[in-house]
């Protein structure tokens, strides 16, 4: 039987970084390579109906081993890693019996994981930690989830005394770019409910997430020779700065937490003639979400009045909504997860997702889908780490969740 650590280390060796605006699913070829290999692994383990769709979705079934009438439970994780930092040529470091000190990730480049910057790491003194070498992300989001799901399935297959109902599995592409459920066939998946295994520290359980939109601000200026620019030049870069200054300065990711929403300026590029800004808009409450979107348009209207019609154009798309609306009518699935976490000897931490998961969109597609922890921390960057005990605890929680 393979350990969860062995699987995880193998999966992070695949470069599966997704790419925005690729015009195809999956957005990168590495995701399909991992999908095919995972399908082979599931077949070798004895799962039924293993398939990889034309879009790179891996699905499989572990049939029930009891005649008791039980709900069909789905487990879902995603293949891709964040586009914000490279996941190519990942070189994991394994630190046994962590002593609570700063960790030297890369001696040659003098990269340290410092406890002063990431104090939560000291909670794992004595544990085995898997870190990066400081040059890439690690890929715990969500390859830790994949490793935990497959390890739990293998334990169930090799231990038939653990009675369980039918279990459906799906590994999805392109979750990180918000396209993970674009081609997900909920009807064919045929689960009564599911759990994404895509969360953070051990014990975390989430069933609320942001309402989310992406906004592009396009600004048109007018250039002229700077030596003769008075009353002629309209500098689109300065208008872009003015636009951003009209947003609440404290409502940004680095100054908000818990249920506080934000505006996140992701990119800003331009010339005197043209400037383009990309924002994320986030709020847990639908009223606040709508107010934030209206504020964007109000600012654009004010600037157009000041500089002329057509100066500022807002292009906005909703991305996903708070799954709480769809989870509350079937709240027993949250309680079931809470009981499994408590039974595994962990403290259940119910907190909102300050982001989104495939489960958010799936819940609105008819498949209620809370989110379970993987143990991964500091994801999407070079200081990512995963405690081994957290991954092992995730496997234990899944076993308690799935068995009678």
Collapse the DSSP code of 400 into the 3-class scheme (helix H, G, I; strand E, B; otherwise coil) and give the result.
helix
The answer to whether 301 is a known catalytic residue is no
Catalytic residue, chosen from 174, 175, 179, 208, is 175
Number of Cβ within 10 Å of residue 319's Cβ equals: 17
Q: Distance between the two ends of the chain, CA-based, in angstroms?
A: 23
Nearest to 235 by CA among 224, 251, 248: 224
Query: What whole-number distance in Å separates Cα of residue 38 and Cα of residue 185?
Result: 19
Number of Cβ within 10 Å of residue 404's Cβ equals: 11
The answer to whether 392 is a known catalytic residue is no
Q: Check if the beta carbon of residue 283 is closer than 8 Å to that of residue 211.
A: yes
Q: Check if the beta carbon of residue 318 is closer than 8 Å to that of residue 286.
A: no
Two structure tokens written together for 278 = 């990309």
Query: What whole-number distance in Å separates Cα of residue 181 and Cα of residue 174?
Result: 8
Task: With residue 270 as reference, give the H or E element that holds it.
Answer: strand 262-270
Query: What whole-number distance in Å separates Cα of residue 273 and Cα of residue 316?
Result: 22
Nearest to 196 by CA among 2, 400, 29, 361: 361
Number of Cβ within 10 Å of residue 158's Cβ equals: 11
- What are the helix (H) ranges across 180-318? 186-189, 236-245, 286-307
Burial 195-204 (b: 16+ CB within 10 A, else e): bbbbbbbbbb
Query: What whole-number distance in Å separates Cα of residue 81 and Cα of residue 87?
Result: 7
Q: Check if the beta carbon of residue 276 is closer than 8 Å to that of residue 266.
A: no
Two structure tokens written together for 353 = 């997702």
Catalytic residue, chosen from 15, 80, 377, 392, is 80
Enumerate the active-site residues. 80, 175
């Amino acid at each position: 039987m393979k350990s969860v650590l062995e699987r995880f280390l193998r999966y992070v060796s695949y470069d599966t970084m997704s790419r925005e605006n690729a015009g195809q699913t999956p957005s990168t070829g590495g995701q399909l390579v991992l999908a095919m290999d995972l399908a082979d692994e599931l077949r070798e383990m004895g799962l039924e109906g293993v398939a990889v769709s034309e879009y790179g979705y891996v699905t499989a079934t572990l049939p029930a081993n009891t005649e008791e009438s039980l709900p069909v439970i789905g487990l879902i994780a995603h293949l891709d890693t964040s586009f914000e930092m490279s996941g190519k040529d990942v070189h994991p470091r394994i630190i046994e019996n962590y002593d609570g000190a700063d960790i030297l990730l890369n001696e040659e480049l003098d990269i340290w994981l410092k406890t002063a910057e990431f104090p939560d790491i000291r909670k794992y003194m004595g544990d085995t930690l898997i870190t990066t070498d400081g040059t890439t992300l690690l890929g715990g989001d969500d390859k830790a989830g994949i490793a935990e799901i497959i390890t739990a399935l293998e334990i169930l297959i090799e231990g038939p005394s653990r009675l369980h109902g039918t279990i459906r599995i799906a590994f999805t592409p392109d979750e990180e770019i918000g396209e993970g459920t674009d081609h997900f066939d909920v009807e064919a998946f045929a689960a009564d409910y599911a759990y994404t295994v895509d969360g953070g520290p051990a014990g975390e359980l989430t069933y609320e997430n942001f309402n989310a939109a992406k906004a592009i601000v396009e600004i048109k200026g007018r250039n002229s020779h700077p030596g003769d620019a008075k009353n002629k030049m309209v500098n689109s870069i300065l208008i872009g700065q003015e636009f951003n200054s009209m947003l609440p300065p404290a409502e940004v990711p680095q100054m908000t937490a818990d249920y506080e929403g934000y505006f996140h300026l992701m990119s800003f590029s331009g010339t005197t003639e043209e400037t383009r800004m990309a924002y994320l808009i986030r709020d847990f409450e639908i009223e606040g979400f709508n107010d934030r979107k209206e504020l964007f348009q109000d600012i654009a209207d004010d600037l157009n009045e000041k500089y002329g019609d057509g100066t500022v154009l807002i292009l906005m798309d909703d991305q996903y909504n708070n799954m709480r609306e769809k989870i509350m009518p079937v709240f027993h699935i949250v309680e079931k997860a809470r009981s499994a976490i408590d039974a595994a000897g962990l403290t259940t931490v119910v907190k909102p997702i300050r982001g989104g998961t495939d489960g958010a969109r799936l819940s609105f597609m008819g498949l209620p889908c809370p989110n379970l922890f993987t143990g991964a921390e500091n994801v999407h960057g070079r200081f990512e780490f995963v405690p081994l005990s957290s991954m092992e605890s995730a496997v234990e929680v899944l076993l308690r969740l799935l068995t009678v």
